[in-house]
Amino acid sequence: MDMHLYPGYLPGAIGRIAQLHASFYAEHSGFGVAFEAKVASELAEFCAQMDSTRDGIWLAVASGEILGSVVIDGANAKDKGAHLRWFIVSDKLRGSGAGNQLLNAAMDFCRSKSYRKVYL
């Protein structure tokens, strides 16, 4: 599958990232609607307030479909560190190196911003 990383928001990303998380965690941890609602609402709030000078979002896209994501929330980077959030890769891309590419992009961004600490 031909996958590329897209640096930034794409229309539908909030819903798709919430769906990826909800499906994975329902199957593997038994999480339900409360978890999906939390992911969707917190991600929507983040995207609405995202500041490209401190925050970043990267999407793994193949055939026009969002199949993975990672976010760096740098709002509290100076005090607590940058917050790595919403990291997920679809089963369609597992084992392809997409997760490594997403994490490398996020960590490269953190290094470029001189963030001393990154946490989950």
Range 3-112 has CATH code 3.40.630.30: yes
pLDDT single digits (tens) 57-77: 999 999 999 999 999 999 999
pLDDT single digits (tens) 36-53: 999 999 999 999 999 999
Q: What is the pTM of this model?
A: 0.95
| pLDDT exceeds 90 at position 83 | yes
Q: Domain ranges for the chain, please list them.
A: 3-112
As given in the structure block, the two tokens for residue 91 are 């089963």
Cβ distance 19 to 69 under 8 Å? no
